[in-house]
Amino acid sequence: MVLGYLIGRRIKTGSDFFLAGRQLPWWAVGMSLVATDIGGTDIIGVGGAAYKHGLAVANFEWIGCIPAMIIGAFFFVPFLYRTGIYTIPEYLERRYNLSVRTIMATCWLVFMACNIGIMLLASAKMMQSLFGWEMWFSILLMATLVGFYTSFGGLAAVVYTDVLQCVILIGGCLLLVVFGLWQLGGIGEFRTKLQNRFQAEQMEDVTANALGSESSEVNRQSTSSNKKPDPHLELILPVDTPTPFPWPGILMGLALILSPAYWIGNQAIIQRSLGSKSEFEAKASYVWGALLKNVIPIVIAVPGLIAIALFPDIQDGDQAIPTLVTRILPSGVRGIFFAAFLAAMMSSVDSYLNSAATIVSYDFIQRFSRAPLSESRILNLGRITTIAGVTWGVGFAFLLTLLKEGSGIYAIFQTLMAFFQGPALAILLTGMLWRKAHGRAAVVALVLGIITSISLYALNQPAIYSSLGWKPLFQIQEPFLYFSIWSFLVSLTTLVALSVTLKSADTSKSELVIWNTARKVNHIQ
Amino acid sequence: MYETPLHHFGNFVRSLLQNIPLEAARYLFLFVIVAVLILVLRLPTSETTPDRPGPSRWDENLKVWAALALLIQLAVYWFI
């Protein structure tokens, strides 16, 4: 809060608030990228997913981040930096038209608004488990802390607090790993206990099959993996895995679609690299972030595996990490982990708040105002929309507390992203790489892609497919990776087919295609 | 409970993918990482060093650090 206050006193313009006056160093931006990506939802959700499904969830931090970050660093981030934009929807209007900008800005705003609520709820759950605090109190406390420094200090406060939070986050989570392994008696004992647990699960499945269990589908799938190594420690899982992480989903849905969509097209991520001091520093921030990403699964996924070995009977995966923290950490160290969790939560909420405010200010209010707004008005607008965003987040978090437990925080987050990330990547990449991509075709492609993913999600809900008399469309749990593949393909096909048909004659926009303008786009306004 | 053409199409794709052995799938993962690594190593130095006159130090070349990040990934997907 002090840092936010000190930085906030030096902010004079909208550019200072939203892009930190383009003065951020690469090391700060890189650590901020990682801290933003690892939120409270990840500590609880990734740990919980590792507890339920094993190490395969680490794919989200490894192949689901690093290749896309490196490609982004050298090809897309420098290009977007040179265009001088504030938001990704702004680029989409320049490249396509206002409709594409407005649809994408709306999607991002809805996603960020929901995400802020989800993150506040995750922090409240953790604090309830650790200290027995009431959920409403935790939600309000977090919202007040983050809302203060984000509304006061803007992107610079967000990035510099993220640096501190990144250090605390990695250090605190590492303590959980160290104490967990110490409790287990070392890495060898850890592996043995995991193997024993796997064999016990197999025996339970065999017994259930012999008794003619009702859940024959899942059991058959589990038994079919009898001769395979312990899936708790496997990164690449077969097509028929009952988990949400079969390898085609990870490779095509995550590595090739969701990950580039996140690292190249996510406003909260791109915005901090646009605030870098120079194009080179923007590239360096992504490379530094990619290096840091290599260690993240060790500190956030491995605790979930340790929980399997120590406490194999937890029913709700989201309770795995809180259980581990309360049962194995001494009280002083528990405080450090709690600080790490708070750091993770704050670093993500502040980023989404700042980016949501940027979208509201630039893509809606300024874009549709009759006269251009002065810099001081944009600054005030940014602060007001930040406060409005945090207020909304509190309301949404309270709403979520009324929902059923056990749906999985990580799955909620990923499903929300999968709704529009595939179509968004299709139009963004095609627009950057193909001169003939047409504005009207992009609108149709974007809408069709989003309808596809929402339809697939709806048709996979038991209430809907049962009422239609259908079988479920997907045979894995939480198939959000497959939603993104199909919606991406629908959008891409539609965009290419319609663009060829419409024969775009608008050559003025070809300067916003990456190949044509590698060095020419200098801050087009 | 009946199946629609969507189910049949999904089952067809699923059965195709099931025929790919897990070891081959691992090579596909490695291929993605190697492809990005080659792309990075082939970039001109001017794209990976600070934009200022004079020679840069070796550790200012982003190619080195990007390659390191990708090599760690190769090791991870090779051994786990």
pLDDT at A220: 43
B residues 56-75 near A, CB within 8 Å? Answer: 62, 65-66, 68-70, 72-73
Q: What would the DSSP string read from start to end of A300-348?
A: HTHHHHHHHHH-TT-SSGGGHHHHHHHHHS-HHHHHHHHHHHHHHHHHH
Instruction: Please give the model's pTM, rounded to 2 decimal places.
Output: 0.88
User: What was the pLDDT predicted at A243?
Assistant: 86
CB–CB contact B22 A238 (8 Å): yes
**A290/B66 touch (CB, cutoff 8 Å), yes or no:** yes
Choose the closest CB to A290 out of B47, B69, B80.
B69
CA distances from A129 to A121, A135, A138 (A): 12, 10, 11
pLDDT by 10-residue block (mean), chain A, 525 residues: 79 86 94 87 85 92 96 94 91 92 92 86 78 86 90 90 88 91 90 84 72 48 52 88 90 91 90 93 96 94 92 85 88 83 83 90 90 86 92 89 60 69 92 90 94 89 87 82 90 94 67 60 45
Most B-contacting residue of A29, A66, A292 (CB-CB within 10 A), to test interface:
A66
pLDDT score at A412: 65
pLDDT on residue A386: 92
pLDDT of residue A487: 93
pLDDT, tens digit (0-9, with 9 covering 90-100), for A48-102: 889 989 999 999 999 999 999 999 999 999 999 998 899 999 999 999 999 999 9
Retrieve residue B42's tokens.
């082939």
Q: Do A66 and B14 touch (CB under 8 A)?
A: no
Output the pLDDT for position A411: 61
Distance CA B48, CA A248 (A): 33
Chain A touched by B28 (CB under 8 Å):
yes
B66: chain A residues, CB-CB within 8 Å = 70, 73-74, 287, 290
Q: Which of B39, B40, B37 is nearest to B75 (CA)?
A: B37
Q: Which residues of B touch A278 (CB under 8 A)?
A: 51
Backbone angles phi, psi at A470, to 5 degrees: -95, 160
**Block residue for tokens 């791109």:** A270
Cα angle: A168, vertex A169, A170; to 5 degrees: 95
Please report the pLDDT score of residue A223 as a whole number: 44
Say if the Cβ atoms of A238 and B36 lie within 8 Å. no
pLDDT at A523: 46
Chain B partners of A73 at a C-beta cutoff of 8 Å? 62, 66
Q: What mean pLDDT is predicted for residues B32-47?
A: 95
Reference A364, options A22, A85, A109, A97; nearest CA is A109
Optimal mutation site among A81, A187, A221, A294, interface B, most CBs of chain B within 10 A: A294
Contacts of A474 in chain B (CB under 8 A): 10
Token digits of residue A117: 């609520």
